[in-house]
């Protein structure tokens, strides 16, 4: 399947609702494991934190896997696609070998969803992937409540 067609399908039906929490997943181009590198991870974390501080896009949790990012954030007044594009653009600018695949997957949390449960699921990705035996052993995650 053409990656452009897949990226376009990801955008169908996407709604940007200010104040809504979103779980974003975005993948490196060709699933290249750019984030096996500590400096690349720290740079992406810096970009996420700057979004919270400067752009008022709060981050509730994230985990950086070797080839993708899971990010639980609250949308501000900007369209979701613009916020994600900015994170991808800034991180690619600072991480020389980083290229992102087009598009991203988003899940708008419903009002009744337990945000802490979503955050726990998100940061447990390294456990499920077999990268570590304890989440405390994985350095590239954070969550507001954990």
Fold of 3-143: Alpha-Beta Plaits (3.30.70)
pLDDT tens sequence across 40-77: 999 999 999 999 998 889 999 999 999 999 999 999 99
Phi, psi dihedrals of residue 138, rounded to the nearest 5°: -100, 120
Which pTM does this prediction carry? 0.88
Q: Can you tell me the mean pLDDT for 100-109? A: 96
Residues 6+ apart with CB under 8 A from 50: 90
């Amino acid at each position: 399947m053409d990656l452009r067609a897949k990226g376009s399908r990801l955008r169908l039906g996407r709604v940007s609702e200010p104040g809504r929490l979103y779980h974003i997943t975005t993948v490196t181009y060709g699933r290249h494991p750019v984030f096996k590198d500590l400096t690349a991870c720290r740079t992406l974390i810096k970009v996420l934190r700057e979004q919270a501080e400067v752009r008022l896009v709060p981050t509730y949790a994230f985990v950086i896997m070797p080839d993708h990012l899971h990010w639980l954030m609250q949308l501000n007044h900007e369209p979701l696609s613009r916020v994600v594009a900015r994170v991808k653009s800034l991180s690619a600018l600072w991480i020389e070998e980083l290229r992102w695949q087009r598009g991203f997957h988003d899940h708008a949390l419903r009002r009744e969803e337990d945000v802490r449960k979503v955050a726990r699921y998100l940061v447990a990705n390294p456990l499920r992937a077999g990268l570590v035996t304890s989440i405390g052993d994985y350095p590239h995650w954070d969550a507001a409540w954990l």
